Structure 1
Amino acid sequence: MDERILQQCEELMKKGSTSFHKAFDVLPSPRREAVHVIYAFCRIIDDSVDEPEGAPYSIHELREHFMNLEQADGHFIWPALRWLFSSFPQLQREPFLLQMEGQLRDLTFTAYDTMEQLKDYCYLVAGTVGEMLLPVLRDDQSEAARTSGIALGIGMQLVNIIRDVGEDLRRGRRYVPLEVMEGHGYSQEELENGEVNHRFTAVIQELRTEALDWFRRGLEHVHTYPLESGLAIELAASFYAAILDAVEADGYDVFRKRSYVSDEAKLQLFQRTVVRYAGVRTAVV
């Protein structure tokens, strides 16, 4: 395998998410490189819908190439994926196809009425990533771990939805379920006007509670992973959950601000988690 191809996947991950890159950088090879490939492909899928003018392929072209992966060429992602499936033969292709199905939904389904609808969407675009990562992060096929991986992905997607309310509105999308808005007396008109008031804050707080519950479920079986994999998962979860605190610190103005976790805060989370895992390793040894 040409190392430059895997390096290109890593660079795409660094560019797309420094948090995820830092979290999964603690993994040994080849698990680490496999995560880079999975992230890179998911990033390309996402860009094909959200930023089609700058994407190398349309979502339909991606699906066609993926369905004929052995013959696909013209981009570094195809030999990288062939290496991924060859190196981790227990990895299934179904989650990748479902991921693309979820992204396709963004082209036609742009407003959600219920939490159940939103949960289904979050599974397709993010829960599937948990399924992709499972065979890479551990050697057994634990159903409990699979369920937790899906839950963590759903929680992370809910964080994305909270953080990106304004950005998504500008793209003509509303992921915040109408039933949640109506439950707190917040109107579509207020949303479109970007009004941040106590009703909107209550909407975001309900979604925050929902996200944290998925995070809790997502970490239930993290102790059953190899130590480095468990550490990576907890780091990724802590970095993402911290975005919710950043939203609160920004006064819930997700219309005009993109809340982020500072490098200093990430470092503190990193050190806190690594120290705890170092204690576990010492106890095991």
Structure 2
Amino acid sequence: MNERILQQCEELMKKGSTSFHKAFNVLPSPRREAVHVIYAFCRLIDDSVDEPENSPYSIHELKAHFTALEQAEGHFIWPALRWLFSSFPQLQHEPFHLQMEGQLRDLTVTEYETMEDLEGYCYLVAGTVGEMLLPVLRDDQSEAARTAGISLGIGMQLVNIIRDVGEDLRRGRRYVPLEVMNKHGYSQQELEAGIVNQQFTAVLQELRAEALVWFQRGLEQVETYPPESGLAIELAASFYAAILDAVEANGYDVFRQRSYVSDETKLQLFKRTLVRYTGNSAVVV
């Protein structure tokens, strides 16, 4: 495998998510490079729907090339994916197809009525990533670990939805379920006006509680992973959960400011998690 191709995948991951890059950088090779490839392809899928004008492919072109992967050329992702599947033969194509189906849904479904509907979407676009990562992060294919990986992905997607309410509205999408808004007396008109009040705060707090339940389920099997993989999973989860604290610190105003986790906070989380695995936090990130 051309080392430059794998480096390009890593660069895409570093550009798209410093949190994920830092979390999974603790993995040994080739697990680390495999995560870079999975992230890079998922990023291309996401961008093909959210930023089609800046994407090298449409979602339909990605589907076609992935279906004929052995013949696909024209971008570093195709030889990278061929390397990924040959290096990790237990990895299935199905989660990747489901991921693309989930992203395609964004082109036709722009509003969600119930939490059940939303969680089904979250499985397609994020729970599937847990399924992709399973054969890369561990050698056995534990069903319990698969379920946990899916749960963690769903929790992370709920965090994305909380953080990106305003950004998604500008794209004409409402992921916040109408049943949750109705429950707390918050209207579609108030949402479109970007009103942050007690009712809206209650809506986001309910979504936050749901996300944390999925996080808890997602970490139930973490001790059964190889130590480096378990560390990476816990780091990714802690970085993502910290976004919820940042949303709270911003007064739940997800319309006018994007909540992010500072490098200092990430370093503290890194050290706190690392010390539980090694007894030593004196590591440079």
Same fold (TM over 0.5): yes
Q: Deviations over 1:116-163 (max 9, x none)?
A: 000000000000000000000000000000000000000000000000
Matched position secondary structure for 2:196: coil
Q: Distance in 1 between matches of 2:215 and 2:257?
A: 24
User: Using the alignment, how far apart are the partners of 2:132 and 2:70 within structure 1?
Assistant: 19
Deviation at 1:247, TM superposition (A): 0.1
Shift of 1:177: 0.1
Aligned residue-pair number: 280
SS at match of 2:37: helix
What is the aligned partner in structure 2 of residue 148 from structure 1? 148
Q: Distance in 2 between matches of 1:277 and 1:185?
A: 45
C-alpha distance after superposition, 1:165-220 (max 9, x if no partner): 00000000000000000000000000000000000000000000000000000000
CA distance in 1, matches of 2:258, 2:104: 25
CA offsets 1:59-111 (integer angstroms, 9 cap, x no match)? 00000000000000000000000000000000000000000000000000000
1:149-168 alignment to 2 at 5 Å? 149-168=149-168
Query: Which residues of 2 match residues 107-186 of structure 1 at below 5 A?
Result: 107-186=107-186
Same amino acid, percent of matched pairs:
85
SS in 2 for 1:89: coil
Q: Give, in whole Å, the separation in 2 of the partners of 1:134 and 1:248.
A: 32
Residue number in structure 1 paired with 2:213: 213
1:51 CA displacement: 0.1
**C-alpha separation in 2, matches of 1:59 and 1:217:** 31
2:46 is the counterpart of 1:46:
yes
Which ranges in structure 2 are unaligned for 5 or more consecutive residues? 281-285
- Tell me how far apart the structure 1 counterparts of residues 188 and 18 of structure 2 sit (CA, whole Å): 34
Task: Find the counterpart in structure 2 of residue 59 from structure 1.
Answer: 59
After TM superposition, the runs of 4+ consecutive aligned structure 1 residues lying more than 3 A away are none
Name the amino acid aligned to 1:32.
Answer: R
- Rounded to whole Å, the distance in 1 between the matches of 2:21 and 2:54 is 22
What is residue 13 of structure 1 aligned with on the other side?
13
CA distance in 1, matches of 2:279, 2:170: 47
User: How far has the Cα of 1:10 moved from its partner?
Assistant: 0.1
- Which residue does the alignment assign to 2:251? 251
CA distance in 2, matches of 1:206, 1:131: 26
Letter paired with 2:69: L
- RMSD across aligned positions (CA): 0.7
Corresponding residue of 1:283: none
Instruction: Give, as a single letter, the amino acid of the residue that structure 2 aligns with 1:106.
Output: D
What letter matches 1:16 in structure 2?
Answer: G
CA distance in 1, matches of 2:119, 2:159: 13
| Equivalent position of 2:278 in the other structure | 278
Q: Name the structure 2 match of 1:239.
A: 239
How far does residue 41 in structure 1 lie from its aligned partner after superposition?
Answer: 0.1
Deviation at 1:279, TM superposition (A): 3.3
Cα distance in 1 between the residues matched to 2:60 and 2:44: 12
Cα deviation, residue 36, structure 1: 0.1
Mean Cα displacement is larger for which, 62-71 or 271-280? Answer: 271-280
- Measured in 1, the distance between the counterparts of 2:229 and 2:174 equals 34
CA distance in 2, matches of 1:74, 1:7: 17
